[in-house]
Chains A and B, each alone.
Chain A
Amino acid sequence: DVKVTQSSRYLVKRTGEKVFLECVQDMDHENMFWYRQDPGLGLRLIYFSYDVKMKEKGDIPEGYSVSREKKERFSLILESASTNQTSMYLCASSLKTGGAETQYFGPGTRLLVL
């Protein structure tokens, strides 16, 4: 059974704090993704990684960074949290092939920045 886990379901932080969101997958997938999900806007890609230590910017990378030190783990970092980063954050993983591959999602982290 495929499994993507995220470190927290709910998180409350203060403006200016550094925030770490962790994601772990046990499917030996090469690709990992971080999205944020906001009402009416759908899922928007923040960053993705196709291999260890590799990262690519998505559609909305500003204010975020990522780290992929091990294949199974992909971390999203908010260097200085702001209120407009209050959102649901979803991690996903997939195989890396030449074609389209199903992405498997974690349960999400609902982040509130006060």
Chain B
Amino acid sequence: GQNIDQPTEMTATEGAIVQINCTYQTSGFNGLFWYQQHAGEAPTFLSYNVLDGLEEKGRFSSFLSRSKGYSYLLLKELQMKDSASYLCAVNNAGNMLTFGGGTRLMVKP
């Protein structure tokens, strides 16, 4: 079966750093995606990891450890506009994705 876990909610302060974790147990693995979804809007692509290690993209970085079934999304210099849900998704077969429940991040002044 497929199981992807991430915290339901997190709160952080503007200007700080926050790490959103995602653990997965899937029957196959062909890469892991992170999406951002603002309330009432479509999810938008943030990052993709298929090899172990850290991928950095501006204020956002994503890390993957395939042996541990673990990923995290790191957001630096938090801004109010970063308040959103962050979705972890595993590509386990073909072009299909299995999503976690999403982490709702609230950034406070």
Binding site for B on A (CB under 8 A): 4, 31, 33, 35, 40-45, 48, 50, 58, 90, 94-97, 99-108
Q: Is the pair B95, A100 in contact by a Cβ cutoff of 8 Å? A: yes
On whether A107 and B95 interact (CB within 8 A), knowing A41-B101, A42-B87, the answer reads: no
- Knowing that A43-B89, A104-B45, A108-B40 touch, tell me 18 more A-B residue pairs with CB under 8 angstroms: A31-B95, A33-B96, A42-B4, A42-B99, A42-B100, A43-B43, A48-B96, A97-B95, A99-B31, A100-B30, A100-B91, A100-B95, A102-B48, A103-B97, A105-B42, A106-B42, A107-B41, A107-B42
Q: Is the pair A99, B33 in contact by a Cβ cutoff of 8 Å? A: no
Least CB distance, B49 to chain A, in whole angstroms: 10
Per-residue CB contact flags for chain B residues 37-58 toward chain A (1 = under 8 Å, else 0) read 0001111110010100000000
CA distance A105 to B45 in the complex (A): 9
Per-residue CB contact flags for chain B residues 1-33 toward chain A (1 = under 8 Å, else 0) read 000100010000000000000000000001101
Residue in A90, A103, A108 with the greatest tally of chain B CB atoms within 10 Å:
A103
Q: Is the pair B42, A43 in contact by a Cβ cutoff of 8 Å? A: no
CB-CB under 8 A from B45, the residues of chain A are: 102-104
Binding site for A on B (CB under 8 A): 4, 8, 30-31, 33, 35, 40-45, 48, 50, 87, 89, 91, 94-102
Q: List 11 A-B contacts (CB under 8 A).
A: A40-B101, A42-B4, A42-B101, A43-B89, A90-B43, A97-B95, A100-B31, A100-B91, A102-B33, A103-B45, A105-B43
Least CB distance, B19 to chain A, in whole angstroms: 20
Q: Is the pair B95, A101 in contact by a Cβ cutoff of 8 Å? A: yes
CA distance A35 to B101 in the complex (A): 13
CB-CB under 8 A from A101, the residues of chain B are: 95
CA distance A43 to B8 in the complex (A): 14
Chain A's closest residue to B4 (CB) is A42
Chain B's closest residue to A45 (CB) is B96
Q: Is the pair A100, B87 in contact by a Cβ cutoff of 8 Å? A: no
CB-CB under 8 A from A35, the residues of chain B are: 99
